[in-house]
A and B are shown apart, each in its own frame.
Chain A
């Protein structure tokens, strides 16, 4: 047999096999997991939800596209992280927020939270939360104006606030309501648990239904896309903390279940705090991160001036992540083992 020309051989360092899971797939999984909660927000808030979430995704994607260098422009869009950031941000916004603000939030979140750090995997703060923190500091009134679920005109009508002209003020809707946490903090008024679990309460688009968020979390856990330690430790800390407080003064402090299902805790603990890029990489670090987040959440909610503190708690723990990582390196195999005599 005549010898053919040798093939062009490829040199690639071992190992040459791969597990099959890739980063973009993981990102897509998170988006899938968020679908039930997104669906619920559409159910409750109708067109408004579409407008707000759509604008924040548009802002995020535009920033991603604008600041990417020519070579990686397509790449950074394909890995779906920009869309995920926009979606997460959108779910934390109040339904009546002007579209331009949601857009700005998405844009700033990606620009300050991701692009300037060098893109995916290099940022140290959660971009979605950064965008939200920016919005909350910039437009405190619009960001804390909550509307009761369901615009008056049915599914296809939007809140007037959504349609404010760019850079212009919000036309406040006639009725505004408060979030369960706000009600509890300022009016000592507890919202029934069923409302918290199934929606129909004032709050941001994605936080109305705790149960659906939990469902997505379970999906992610099954797909192994999520470090289960973080949500478990955050939620656990919150439960324990509220239980202890409740032990001292059940009237004044919220019950564990209320703490668990109110506000953005579910959304934050399952989807934001677990952002792998900005949470500790070491398993022990993940516990510290979760416990720290839980404590800060309760600190701000119970003793702070704000009704809700999940966002700040996660951002603060993001800032502490490099330190946590550094001091929670696992014990290396064979280290610290006494030689058998």
Chain B
């Protein structure tokens, strides 16, 4: 039972309540760093580290922190984790860090992370909070990766820097430019909507069939 519950929390973040596709949160890093798959993954991992870490802490101290200053405390906790991630990346993979540039510190301002603290971690026990954070961050990573992959494949003819088309492939440069980010995400959301719409239609058909069957 218990296990099921935490599994639920995990799964909902990945698909049904996907932070990007369904809730439209965390758009800024989403678009800014997804011009290549590797950057997207690095950003996703960093966000995951921050989200899980801060959810864990916030959940532990949820009864200690006074309501009035909870936001400030959340921000301090998040900023600490972000700084840690920032320096770790700088030390370990300076190249990626340079590409991501100022967007690592900007994880602090990702509404997804603060939103999860406020909406979930500060209300639920640690275990659920961590599962939720993992799910949400996983969903975020998934979204980042899919966007990054699409943009890199079309914009550069490569994935993770490996060419996948013939030498003569003409790259779609717009894809790695800012407009490409907006357009690609818009089109992906469109597909997401279409998918949901088809599913709803299907469910409605099933319900209709059941009703008429009775």
* Interface residue ranges, A against B (CB under 8 Å): 112, 134, 137-140, 142, 164-165, 167-170
Contact = CB atoms under 8 A, between A and B. Distances in A.
Contact of A169 (B170, B174, B180): B170
Nearest to B167: A169
A170 B169 CA distance: 9
Contacts of A142: 170
Contact of A168 (B168, B179, B180): B168
Interface of B: 165-166, 168-170, 172-175, 177, 179-180, 183
Given A137-B177, A138-B173, 11 more contacts: A112-B183, A134-B174, A137-B180, A138-B174, A138-B175, A139-B170, A142-B170, A165-B168, A168-B170, A169-B170, A170-B170
- Most chain-B CB neighbours within 10 Å: which of A137, A140, A142? A137
Contact of A167 (B170, B173, B174): B170
Contacts of B170: 139, 142, 164, 167-170
A112 B190 CA distance: 12
A301 B181 CA distance: 27
A169 B168 CA distance: 5
Contact of B165 (A112, A140, A167): A167
A22 B134 CA distance: 59
Contacts of A168: 166, 168-170
Contacts of A134: 174
Nearest to A100: B170
B183 A139 contact: no
B101 to A, nearest CB: 22
Contacts of B172: 138-139
A167 B179 CA distance: 20
A164 B177 CA distance: 24
A112 B179 CA distance: 13
B173 A140 contact: yes
Contacts of B166: 168
- Most chain-A CB neighbours within 10 Å: which of B169, B173, B180? B173
B173 A137 contact: yes
B7 to A, nearest CB: 38
A137 B174 contact: yes
Contacts of B169: 167-169
Nearest to A101: B170
10 closest A-B pairs (Cβ-Cβ)?
A: A137-B174, A138-B174, A168-B168, A169-B170, A138-B172, A169-B168, A138-B173, A137-B177, A167-B169, A168-B170
- Most chain-B CB neighbours within 10 Å: which of A165, A167, A169, A170? A167
Contacts of A169: 168-170
Nearest to A165: B168
A169 B172 CA distance: 11
A137 B165 contact: no
Contacts of B165: 167
B154 to A, nearest CB: 9
Contacts of B168: 165, 168-169
Contacts of B179: 137
16 contacts: A112-B183, A134-B174, A137-B174, A137-B179, A138-B172, A138-B173, A138-B175, A139-B170, A139-B172, A139-B173, A140-B173, A167-B169, A167-B170, A168-B168, A169-B170, A170-B170
Contacts of B177: 137
A66 to B, nearest CB: 15
A157 to B, nearest CB: 23
Nearest to B177: A137
